[in-house]
Amino acid sequence: MPRQTQYHKNPEAVSRLDPEQYRVTQQDGTERPFANAYWDNHEPGIYVDVVSGEPLFASVDKYDSHSGWPSFTKPISGPISGPVTGPITGPIAQPNVVERKDFSHGMVRVEVRSLHGDSHLGHVFDDGPADRGGLRYCINSASLRFIHLDDLEQEGYGEYRTLFASDTDK
């Protein structure tokens, strides 16, 4: 499969979402803690938007926050092979992840959405590991597709293998 160079909200992918994936990604839902696919996944790989396929998070930045949802200290910081190009929208943006103020449910939070797919992913909080930047990206499994390290090449994400190289391999 050739590497996808343009990510977008794919109507065909949206039509294939199961009801929970649709509720979470398209209607800003939240799945139940400890009852989702990736909260306890310890395999090496990357997590991509289930709608657009854009790379979002890597297992090297995943940690157990004891919240029942997959938690990461940071998103994947852009293409591994070069600088980020194209417009990045939203009040606070990082490659493939947009953060927006969320005033729903009587709280003030920071919502996390995919940049190109506009999928609701979850929220980011400032109670993450201090030695890793202090952030906790609390993400719904329903908004993600996991691609195992062994499958990165065949899935078109081979450039992200470098995230898993040890310091002695670089």
pLDDT < 70 positions in the chain: 1-5, 78-95, 166-170
Q: What is the pLDDT of residue 7?
A: 87
| 138 in active site | yes
Q: What is the pLDDT of residue 92?
A: 36
Q: What is the pLDDT of residue 121?
A: 98
Q: What is the pLDDT of residue 88?
A: 38
Give the H/E segment covering residue 11.
Answer: helix 11-15
Active site residue: 97, 98, 138, 144, which one? 138
Instruction: Walk me through the domains of the chain, giving residue ranges and CATH numbers.
Output: 11-164 (2.170.150.20)
Q: What is the pLDDT of residue 104?
A: 79
Q: What is the pLDDT of residue 72?
A: 97
- Give CA–CA dist 96/49, Å, rounded: 9
Which phi and psi (to 5°) does residue 141 adopt? -60, -35
Contact partners, residue 90, CB within 8 Å, separation at least 6: 98, 99, 100, 113, 115
pLDDT in tens, 94-141: 468 998 888 877 878 899 999 999 999 999 999 999 999 999 999 999
